[in-house]
Structure 1
Amino acid sequence: MLTSNDIAKQRFDHAAFGGYKSDEVDAFLNEVANSFEELEEQNAVLLKKLEVLAEKLEEYRSDEESLRSALLGAQKLGDSVVRESKAKAELIIREANVKAERLIAGAHDQVEKEKLVYVRLQKDVASFKSKLLATYKQHLELISSLPDQINKEKAQAAAEKASESATAKEPEPTEEKQEAVSEEEAQATDFTARPEPKEGDYAEHDYEEPAPKAAKDSLPHRDTEEIVKKSPYADEYYEDFSDDEEGHGDGAPSSSNKKKSKFGTLKFGAGYDLKRE
């Protein structure tokens, strides 16, 4: 390939006849050399540009690969994130369902326990109520039996005293004392023969204590204390008791030898008089 320098140095031989003028040929060669030199320079510039473009193309190709790999990685990451999110959501829902079932089961168990406690409390209350009613009825029976014993003791004491006084004063008892003794014995027999109260009688009918008939002769206050002494609740009412009654020829108990009640003087019995209040 010719260069501009080869064209400028090219020389021709002189012809003998009819040749070209040397000056014109040299001028043309110079012009051709200059044009060829410009073309070479342009070609060099184009080559440089082509090299730059080729480098850029390689860069773009490498970037394209990286972008493609990045896109694929992002797509894979997105898919994995979606899968993990779905798996976590399913796990959370499953755990929430299990926890809810446990809470519901625990609530049901607690309700059943509370029901059992409620039933047991009802049974305890019913048992306590029945025991309390039974105790109350026993106390009522004990209280209702006190007048019977007192009247019986009064009748016996009146009969004994009437018989003693009749024996000491008269050979035969008077009609008035016989009537009094008969009334006392009839009253004692009536209270003794009375049937014991059954369960439920106190709830349906109010108990009315019959008024005891007054005896002709008053009995000493010791009779009531003898009855209370025989009661199983005597220890709860008395603090101290002494049976020593020496020095009393008339048989009446002294005030120092009587039992002292924790609740004060008993306001009932043969020795109690309402007029003293």
Structure 2
Amino acid sequence: MPLTPLDIHNKEFTRGFRGYDEDEVNEFLDQIIKDYEAVLREKKDLFDRVTDLDEKLEHFKNIEETLNKSILIAQESAEEVRRNAQKEAQLIVKEAEKNADRIINDALSKSRKVMMEMEELKKQASVYKMRFKMLIEAQLEMLKTEDWDVVASDHEEDVYEER
């Protein structure tokens, strides 16, 4: 067990015939006691400081561990968000492709329908033109006949007679 300042202070030496000067020894012991007390105080202060620093170190280790866990969770969350965003983007692209295909197919269908209607209108216009032409030709033929000349001359005679 280590000596305490009190042990040093209370230490009694046996006296010999030609011993040391008692006052000198006591002064020296008093100086040792002061120094020893200072060393013990310093040791206690250092021990307290080490204890305090150990507690702080433990606290910071806990913070570091918590931060590391938080970083891992954040990284995992970010990775999950990235994967979900990628999946969603793929779904959006697929949906857009389906819509584009549908729109293209609708447009092609409408285009075919318009083309068929246009062909039908061309045929009808051609038939109408041909019938109209035949009607006009028939009317011209009718005007060229002698019967028309007779009707015209009869009409002129009727007009002159009325006057």
Common fold, TM-score beyond 0.5? yes
TM-score scaled by length of structure 1 = 0.50
Choose between structure 1 and 2: higher helix proportion: 2
For 1:30, the equivalent position in structure 2 comes to 30
Structure 2 letter corresponding to 1:53: L
For 2:79, the equivalent position in structure 1 comes to 79
Within-5 A mapping of 1:46-195: 46-145=46-145, 147=147, 150=150
Within-5 A mapping of 1:210-225: 224=151
Q: Secondary structure at the match of 1:269?
A: helix
Within-5 A mapping of 1:239-250: none
Paired with 1:270 and 1:20, the residues of 2 have a C-alpha distance of 187
Paired with 2:52 and 2:37, the residues of 1 have a C-alpha distance of 23
Paired with 2:143 and 2:90, the residues of 1 have a C-alpha distance of 78
What runs of 5+ residues in structure 2 fail to find an aligned partner? none
Shift of 1:42: 1.0
Higher relative contact order (CA 8 A, sep 6+): 2
User: Which 4+ runs in 1 deviate beyond 6 A?
Assistant: none
- 1:8 and 2:15 matched: no
Instruction: From the superposition, tell whether residues 129 and 19 of structure 1 become closer, same or farther in structure 2 (CA, over 3 Å).
Output: same
Q: Deviations over 1:61-109 (max 9, x none)?
A: 1121012112212221231132123212212221222122122212211
For 1:269, the equivalent position in structure 2 comes to 153
Q: Percent same amino acid at aligned positions? A: 27
What runs of 5+ residues in structure 1 fail to find an aligned partner? 151-223, 225-267
Q: Does the aligned pair in 1 maintain the 2:9–2:29 contact within 8 Å?
A: yes
Shift of 1:142: 3.8
Matched residue count = 157
Let me know the Cα RMSD of the aligned residues: 2.6
Q: Does the aligned pair in 1 maintain the 2:5–2:37 contact within 8 Å?
A: yes
Paired with 1:117 and 1:9, the residues of 2 have a C-alpha distance of 129
